[in-house]
Chain A
Amino acid sequence: MMKSASKVVAVIGNPNSGKSTLFNALTGMRQKVGNYPGVTVEKKEGSILYDDGTEILIIDLPGTYSLTANSPDERIATDVLLGRRNDTPKPSLVICVVDASNLERNLYLVSQLIDRQIPVLIALNMVDVASQEGMKVDAAKLSALLDVPVVPTVATHSTGIAELKFRLLGSVRPSQQTRKWKLPVTVAEQVSELQEILRRTEKTDENESYQNALQLLTSPAVGTNSHAPELQAEIEKAIKKFESEGIDRFSVVVEARYDWIKSLAGQVVEYRVQSEERLSDKLDAVLTHKVWGFVIFFGLMTLMFQTIFTWANVPMQWIGSAFSWLGGQVAAVLPPSSARDLIVNGAIAGVGAVVTFLPQIVFLFLFLGLLEDTGYMARAAFIMDRTMSKVGLHGKAFIPMLSSFACAIPGIMATRTIESPKDRLVTILVSPLMSCSARLPVYTLMIAAFIPQETVWGFLSLSGLVLVSMYMLGLFAALGSAWLFKKTLLKSAPPIFIMELPPYRIPSARSVLMHMWNRALQFLKRAGTIILAVSIALWFLASYPKKEHATPSEQLEYSFAGQAGKLLEPIIKPLGFDWKIGIGLIGSLLQREVFVSTMGTIYNIRDANNDSGNHTLREQMRNEVDPITGKPTFTALTAICLMVYYVLAMQCMSTVAVVRRETNSWRWPIFQIAYMTALAWVGTFAVYRIGLFF
């Protein structure tokens, strides 16, 4: 549908300017989210279909404060605007979303767009907020001064959207008000001298040669070496001159721009007397308070965690039962055959495994969307930054890591809010160490079967203590690994924390729901396919080769998975595990909780996941005796070792699939499997060896 669009329009704007809300209001459900190839920057496209059949393609560019191309997001935005990307058509018009209540900083980007002679249309957004804060922005005057059409909007209420849509149909010419800001005389002279040389040598037009000359002399991102001799000499001469006159060449353009903007803003903004304290400040006095700030933050986190951890369980069980019902129905209709087996135990079970994750993802992103759009997310990072910086991470890494206690998949998807690519990668690498909900059934089985029901210090139950220790182990392993990665492999300067604290706002339901919907869809499309393939592969490994007249237990032992379990035995023997546990570990590759049902199959117990079945399984495992030594196979120590292994190992193939998607390569998921497996083996080995002394 989007190929035939007659026109391409890009939407750009500062973060927190309401850009995404405006994009959603323009395109509604007609949008798709993907990735720019080769980078992890999100690509959002949508379209507007007019009554007469005209279709306009809308590209939502990443939020950016400037076109200087400091971050990957800004680089993509700049490249798309200038038509430098093969995968995205060059827009013929750019909507720049400007937060009317924060005019000066927002106009900085506008002035850069105007200078690049890009046809731009301003959506003067949040005029309602501006007026609440005692500001009146004269849109007509702003339009006249900038020589740019200005449409006042309130994207959250769809105000002004119809006019904006109408304006997109017409054409907009580039503004004539380019470079109205005034450089100091010395700088202006040097730039025009350099421009002359560039014009002569590179045959570029007036504007382009000026932009290049300006860049060469004033941008810290451009090197001053290895140019043609004539150019090089001119640059060096200019730099010397700036130094002798005490001119800071890197800040001079930014300052000139802001001076111009300030005088411009002075002409269009009318301030009414403002007596009352801003609502946001009153809220912040509580929400970032020394005591209440943390109380509320942890309260919200507990609520979010509860939602993902417990409430999502209900729809997850519905989905689980729905798929097993479906499997049962199909099994009843089809004659017994390998094909039926494949459909029921491979495909249906596999799709079920994928869909089961959905409730957690939906709930988490509902919460995250609300936190983000109300403006609270920035405060959460503000509160937690001090703590996270101890391991070299950004305050924004806290929420993805916490979410990973429920499930690493949405947690890893939530790392997108972290701007620095290296910090984001570190967070992705360590998130699966947080004990997710899928580990809980394994912990529960092991604790119930092998940890004596004792009380410690008179009031703590030993089982509870062991369970808490496992969660703590995961947490400390994650923080320790993050610290280590930041020190070594992904060494980088401490992340730049400069972050806007936007005023609190009432979120738009549409934006929050669209965000949630897009995330769910992305998960199904991107990770779903890999998870499905892995589950079919695992089904195959556990079912073939076939053995005639075998019990399920014998069949499993005879299968590839069973053989692999036995092959694995020498490697896991030092950890106190036998081949049966080996099979369980292989089964866990799909989902960790599969361990419980795999053990059930091995010990010939039906329904190991319900209460009575689980009870029988515990009995069986406790009574299991090593055929050679005659000692019990499973002891409290084996159970603890197994739990430690589950805390530390990267077993979940679904997580691997998501990491592959989020990092756009196999390199990091493979590294992650390697380091976590090594950590798990060494950790478990240490616990086992030390445990043998007691």
Chain B
Amino acid sequence: MHSVPLSQLRPGERGSILRIESIDPQLRQRLLEMGLTKGTLLEVIRLAPLGDPLEISVRGYRLSLRKHEAESVLVETAR
């Protein structure tokens, strides 16, 4: 197990959220309220055709976020 930013996961890879490191409080709050809390499992589904943003599956729904935003989400992954 080791921790990487969400932006580095490839499609199909899963992870569990460790923490959100964003310094932008609004972005952080938004991510948390969308259900990206500590310990939540997520999976990267796909990248947009031009490589950014990415689509993840979390709490049973699909969310897209930019790589820049995904950089602040630290996840623990089995890879």
Contacts and interface: CB of A to CB of B under 8 A. Distances in A.
A497 interface: yes
B55 A248 contact: no
Interface residues of B, number: 36
B69 A496 contact: yes
Given A65-B34, A104-B35, A258-B35, A382 B55 contact: yes
A105 B35 contact: yes
B25 A68 contact: no
B37 A497 contact: no
A383 B35 contact: no
B10 interface: no
Contacts of B25: 220-221, 250
A289 B49 CA distance: 6
B26 A383 contact: no
A395 B51 CA distance: 14
Nearest to B51: A386
Contacts of A378: 64
B59 A104 contact: yes
Given A108-B35, A383-B48, A386-B53, A500 B62 contact: yes
A492 to B, nearest CB: 11
Interface in B41-66: 45-46, 48-53, 55, 59-66
Contacts of B38: 251, 255
B62 A501 contact: yes
A583 B30 CA distance: 53
A258 B37 contact: yes
B34 A294 contact: no
A234 interface: no
Contacts of A65: 30, 33-34
A228 interface: no
A386 B28 contact: no
A119 B60 CA distance: 28
A344 to B, nearest CB: 54
A385 B37 contact: no
A493 B32 contact: no
A494 interface: yes
A501 B32 CA distance: 17
A259 B30 CA distance: 17
A298 B40 CA distance: 37
Contacts of A499: 63-65
B52 to A, nearest CB: 5
A383 B49 contact: yes
B48 A385 contact: yes
Contacts, number: 121
Interface residues of A, number: 46
Contact of A493 (B24, B34, B37, B64): B24
B48 A288 contact: yes
B30 A498 contact: yes
A501 B48 contact: no
A321 interface: no
Interface in A94-109: 101-105, 108
A273 to B, nearest CB: 16
A496 B27 contact: yes
Contact of A386 (B46, B48, B61): B48
Contacts of A288: 46, 48-49, 55
Contacts of B29: 68, 70, 220-221, 250, 254
A672 interface: no
A498 B48 contact: no
Contact of B69 (A221, A387, A498): A498
B30 to A, nearest CB: 6
Contacts of A108: 33, 35
Contact of A255 (B37, B55, B63): B37
A294 B64 contact: no
A382 B66 CA distance: 9
A113 to B, nearest CB: 14
B33 A386 contact: no
Contact of A254 (B32, B45, B53, B55): B32
Contacts of A68: 29, 33
Given A254-B32, A498-B30, A498-B69, A386 B50 contact: yes
Contacts of A500: 34, 61-64
A201 B29 CA distance: 30
A428 B74 CA distance: 36
Contacts of B60: 101-104
A220 B26 CA distance: 8
A220 B25 CA distance: 6
B55 A501 contact: yes
Contacts of B50: 383, 386-387
Interface string A251-281: 1001100110000000000000000000011
Given A66-B33, A258-B35, A500-B61, A389 B48 contact: no
Nearest to A135: B60
A255 B30 CA distance: 13
A200 interface: no
A522 to B, nearest CB: 30
Nearest to B68: A494
B9 interface: no
B20 interface: yes
B31 interface: yes
A290 interface: yes
Interface string A318-359: 000000000000000000000000000000000000000000
B18 to A, nearest CB: 11
Contacts of B31: 498
Contacts of B35: 104-105, 108, 258
B51 to A, nearest CB: 7
B48 A496 contact: no
Contact of A105 (B19, B45, B46, B61): B61
A284 interface: yes
B49 A248 contact: no
A499 B62 CA distance: 9
Nearest to B26: A70
A552 interface: no
A124 to B, nearest CB: 15
B23 to A, nearest CB: 11
16 contacts: A70-B26, A104-B59, A251-B19, A254-B37, A255-B32, A255-B37, A258-B35, A386-B50, A386-B53, A395-B53, A496-B26, A496-B30, A497-B65, A498-B69, A499-B63, A500-B64
- The 7 A-B pairs at the shortest CB distance, nearest first, are namely A220-B25, A386-B50, A501-B62, A254-B32, A497-B66, A290-B49, A255-B37
Given A251-B28, A493-B24, A500-B64, 9 more contacts: A70-B29, A221-B25, A250-B28, A259-B37, A281-B45, A385-B53, A496-B69, A498-B69, A502-B61
Interface of B: 19-20, 24-35, 37-38, 40, 45-46, 48-53, 55, 59-66, 68-69
